[in-house]
């Protein structure tokens, strides 16, 4: 049900992606809410694809990810950046964009940095945040993320892909 692939992208390509995402000119936008609007948490996001169109110049950098995932039809691509906290925040369980689109929809999460945060599933499975790890699961699977509490790592960053697979 939950697939996990370490070293998902070629190392050279992943480092280039990290350099861009964590660079001083990458645009991040404050979002009041982690899982739902005004849920008491703040995260920074960068939307790449939504409503059947690319909305970011960063989209071309993600083509190798989309191809390797075997995407038939994209629904959304979004980067999430959560600042570190002194105590671990565990957010609400949720499903990604499930509704009238049907049950074959997938969610994939690419971890952009290694930290002590994780993705947790309602069944108790836990996937640690390890740079260049990609996890994939049915979008109707309830899951949540966390902050990180590493003193030397200021944030936890993931790229979230929602799509219909080939």
Predicted TM-score (pTM) above 0.85? yes
Size (the chain), residues: 166
Confidence of residue 33 (pLDDT cuts 50, 70, 90): confident
Q: What tokens does 96 get?
A: 């990604």
Which pLDDT score, from 0 to 100, does residue 100 have? 53
Confidence of residue 96 (pLDDT cuts 50, 70, 90): confident
Confidence of residue 99 (pLDDT cuts 50, 70, 90): low
Confidence of residue 39 (pLDDT cuts 50, 70, 90): confident
SS3 113: coil
How confident is the model over 40-44, as a mean pLDDT?
A: 89
* Among the listed residues 156, 160, 144, 145, the one whose alpha carbon sits nearest the alpha carbon of residue 49: 160
The residue assigned the tokens 């390890």 is: 130
Q: How far apart are the first and last CA of the chain?
A: 17
Q: How far apart are CA 124 and CA 143, in angstroms?
A: 9
Is the confidence at residue 101, as pLDDT, over 70?
no
* Among the listed residues 55, 52, 96, the one whose alpha carbon sits nearest the alpha carbon of residue 75: 52
Q: Delineate the domains of the chain, giving CATH numbers in brackets.
A: 3-18+40-164 (2.60.120.620)
Confidence of residue 36 (pLDDT cuts 50, 70, 90): confident
Q: How far apart are CA 79 and CA 125, in angstroms?
A: 23
Signed CA dihedral, 35, 36, 39, 45: sign only:
positive
Which pLDDT score, from 0 to 100, does residue 103 have? 67
* Among the listed residues 126, 129, 134, the one whose alpha carbon sits nearest the alpha carbon of residue 116: 129
Which pLDDT score, from 0 to 100, does residue 24 have? 95
């Amino acid at each position: 049900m939950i697939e996990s692939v370490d070293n998902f992208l070629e190392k050279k390509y992943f480092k280039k992606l990290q350099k861009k995402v964590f660079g001083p000119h990458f645009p991040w936008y404050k979002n009041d809410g982690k899982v739902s609007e005004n849920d008491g948490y703040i995260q920074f996001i960068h939307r790449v694809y939504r409503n059947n169109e690319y909305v970011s110049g960063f989209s071309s950098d993600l083509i190798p990810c989309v191809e390797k995932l075997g995407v038939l039809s994209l629904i959304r691509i979004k980067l999430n950046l959560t600042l570190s906290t002194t105590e671990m925040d565990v957010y609400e369980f949720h499903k990604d964009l499930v509704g009238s689109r049907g049950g074959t929809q997938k969610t994939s999460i690419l971890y952009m940095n290694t930290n002590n945060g994780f993705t947790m599933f309602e069944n108790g499975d836990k996937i640690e945040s390890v740079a260049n790890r990609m996890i994939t699961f049915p979008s109707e699977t309830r899951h949540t993320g966390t902050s990180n509490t590493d003193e030397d790592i200021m944030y936890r960053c993931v790229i979230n892909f929602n799509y219909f697979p080939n």
